[in-house]
Structure formats: structure tokens, C-alpha cells
Amino acid sequence: MNLEDLDAVLEEITVDELYKGDDLDLHRIFYHFAKSGRVTLDAALYLVRRANEYFDDEPNVLELKGPATLFGDIHGQYFDLAETIMKLPPPEISDCWLFLGDYVDRGTFGVEVTLYLFALKAFYPDSVFLLRGNHECRHLTTNYNFKQECVDKYSEELWEAIMEAFDSLPLAATVDMGDGYVFFCVHGGISPSLSSLDDVNDINRRVELPQTGGMCDLLWSDPIDEGSSRGLNSDELVEWKDVDYVKNEERGAGYVYGHKAVMKFLNDNSFCSIIRAHDVQREGYSELFMHTGRDLPVVVTLFSAPNYCSYYGNLAAILRLENGSETVPKIVYTQYSAFDPKNFLACLVDNMDNTDNTDNTDNTDNTDNTDNTDNTDNKGEKEIDQLRTSLRIKPLDLSKVKPTSDNNSNGALKAPRKQSTCKWLAAKEKKQREQGLLKSPSKADFRKLKEDHKREEKIPMPKEGEVEY
């Protein structure tokens, strides 16, 4: 198969064609979206409703057991999500996958991200879990690009169905790693009106995201910037640690929660850490210890959309909660850069060459022989092979994915960064380009870029009854 053959295979997939036997054909859905293929409107609506049946049965707070793999914001970047998933063992082997929200807007493949995650949920209902982010609402998807993306690719009917499913998404989760180590996972953060999990479970979540209140705070709030404590003397540091909740003026919704609020919430609920998403990170993640001296960070921020908005130049990350050698669990981060979709597509097409052969041998009686060979340290490789077998995916040949800039320090490949729309950064990049020194923004520039971007794109939350959809 080559790129010229794609037109012959990009016909819309029907509801019946979503299945292979009695199960959803995740392989076909995965590759079809990676080739910019579409499903019929009926098939799209079917996937939404199948997933929503599971969301609707779940509580506001999921109670999960570790180990677990967590994903931060994705924001419509399907190719980056697909490349990441190809490297992971399936959730039925690696226990659960937990997505922390913000699947849509900004990126242009929000429909594909949503439908594929919904297909994953329908296929692995007890191993794949999705939380709601602040972008999973009618207001933001109307003001950003997801509603228009749905209309352009399918219809407004699909957008409405997805919004109903988003209304049903759980609001938070706990991951119990044993020995008293329990992580609280949420999109944004904590709230002054929610002191316990019972308070969160009492929320009526099946509504459009409100402009105020506990539900809003869970999805919109941010932790205090730990950098704001640098250079403080001992008396000033005491005052810094006494910060509870402050209105989040930068976002226009939710709160900024400080050291005092975080420690009270963790101690009152016997949690060890908060893991959240919601905020782009230069390295894909950040850890806040808030001067506690703990082995584990009290707040982790995770962001899984590399080169966000095509000009941040940031790495992305996922994290794995694992049992450590001692009783303290380990937080293991995997960082990655963005891929050029065209190169990635070419690699995907090449990797599909033996798909038919894999399909023909998929039902043979080789399971016992494979199991008998699992007596070495190759268990991780075996699990990855099992994923590729279940999805009919060949190992990704990175040698055929051409980097479009120099490799970074950890060997990850970077996609080209579009020229920044931010004027001051664009001018700086122009000078660097002329000198042959173009690189990702410095930490100081990245912080300023985040502040400028939030200020430019800040959308006031609507008052009740003010906006009709």
C-alpha cells in the first residue's frame, strides 16, 4: 500500500463496519482516522451513544486501583495521541488508562480524538476512563473550533450528541496504590465549597458547565505558582504558605488554590497528591512540592498535547503510577514531541503492509506456545506485541519518520513549529532563524507566552440564560 492507494480505502465506515465479529474493530477505527478517514454520521452517533451508556452509569468520582497510566490535555491532536497509544500496552494488561479531560478545541482533529476515545471506552469499559475538562461544554466548543469542526465534518446533530455525552463524564477519580497512598485526579483542581468526596458525588454533573460553584472549580482552578515563593524571607514564606483560595482572575473562572488549601484537602481526605491537567507545561509536566519536604509532589500538572497550538514548542507527557521498590509508589513520566502528520501518515501506511497477513493468523492456535515463552525479562515486550496483535499494528519504524528539526536531548523527534502568532515571540524567532539558532522558547519566554495566550483567548463565562446554543 502507498499514499496513492488511500482514496480507495477512505470510504466512510458504516455502523456494521465498525465491528470485527462481535467486537469493535479498534484497529480499523484507529487507522481510518489516522488516514483522515471518516465514519458515517450514523456510525459516529452510534459510538457516542455506546460510550455514553457507560459514562452515565459511573459516579462523579471514580475509585480506581493502581497501577495506572494517565493522560493530560489532548486538544484535538489525534496524530500525537495515536503515536503515543501505539507505544503502550493495552489497558487490559497495564490496568487502567485515565484521561483527565480537554479532548477537543484548538487542534483540528477533535472529532477523531473524541470518537476514538469513545470507541476505546466501549471496548474497554472497565479499563479506560475519561474525566470531564473545562472544554467539554457547549460554551467553549462554540467559541473555539470544535462545534464548527463537527458541523464541517458531520453535522450539528453530532455536536449535540457529543455534548450530551460530555455532560455525563465523571468529574474526578481516585487511584489507590495501596499502603495508604491514594492520588486525587481531576482536570483543574479543588474548590472551597468541596471538602470531601461526598461533596463531589453530590453534584448534579449532567448539565452544561456552570460559571460558578464546585463543579466549575474542579474543572477551571489552578494551583499557586511555586515560583512566586522564590526569594521570600522566612516571614514572607509563612504568609505564602497561608494562602488558601484566591479568585482566578487570569482565567475568569474557578480559583487559584494555595499551600494551605492543598494541604487541608489532602490531609482531610487521606490523599497523598493531586494529579491534574488544564495548563500547558514546557516539559509536558510539572511537580509542586510547596516546601513540604515530601517524597511525592503534592500537585502534579500533566499536559499531553505537544507543540500546543503549533507554536508553544513544548514537550508533552503521560505518567504512570507504579508500585516502587519500597512502599512509596513511583510516578514515571514519558515525554514526547510532536510528529509531522504527513511523515506519520506515510509511516502508518507502510506499517499496514502486512495487516492482511496479521488478520489471517489472528485466530490461530498459537496462544499456548506464546505463553510458554514468557519466562524471561521480556514481559514488557510481549505485552506490547499483544497490543499490536489486538489492534493489528506493526511496530512503528521510527527510521522512516523523518525529523524536521534536530533531535532534542532525549532523542525525541520534533515536528516543525509554525511561526508564532504572538508578535514579540515571532520577532525573536525571526532573529533566531536568521542566525540559524531557532529553538524552543526559553523558560522565561514560555511563561510570558502562556500569560499572553491566556489573556488573548480569555472568554468570559456566560451568565445563566444568557447564551442559547
The Cα 334–Cα 410 span in angstroms is 11
Angle at alpha carbon of residue 198, lines to 257 and 126, rounded to 5°: 100
Assign 64 to helix, strand or coil. Answer: strand
Strand-pairing partners, residue 246, are 256
Q: What's the grid cell of residue 100? A: 483527565
Assign 24 to helix, strand or coil. Answer: strand
Q: What's the grid cell of residue 85? A: 497509544
SS3 content of the chain, % helix, strand, coil (to 5): 40, 15, 45
**Exposure string over 427-453, b if 16+ CB within 10 A, otherwise e:** ebbeeeeeeeebebbeeebbeebbeeb
**Contact between residue 400 and residue 350 where contact means Cβ atoms under 8 Å apart:** yes
Instruction: Exactly one of 27, 32, 75, 135 is catalytic; name it.
Output: 135
Angle at alpha carbon of residue 460, lines to 459 and 466, rounded to 5°: 120
Query: In 132-196, which ranges are continuous DSSP H helix?
Result: 138-143, 146-153, 156-167
Rg over alpha carbons for the chain, rounded to the nearest Å, is 22
DSSP assignment string, 306-352: TTGGGTS---EEEEEEE--SSSSPEEEEEEE----HHHHHHHHHHHT
- Going by C-alpha positions, the residue among 326, 306, 293 that lies closest to residue 80 is 306
Catalytic, 135? Answer yes
Q: DSSP character for 172?
A: E
In 205-284, the DSSP E strands lie at 222-223, 245-247, 255-257, 273-276
Give me the torsion for CA of 35, 162, 281, 409, rounded to 10°: -20
In 140-252, the DSSP E strands lie at 172-176, 182-186, 222-223, 245-247
What is the phi-psi region of residue 73: left when phi exceeds 0, alpha when psi lies from -120 to 50, beta otherwise? beta
Encoded amino acid at 441, one letter: P
The Cα 89–Cα 95 span in angstroms is 9
The residues annotated with a catalytic role in the active site are 135
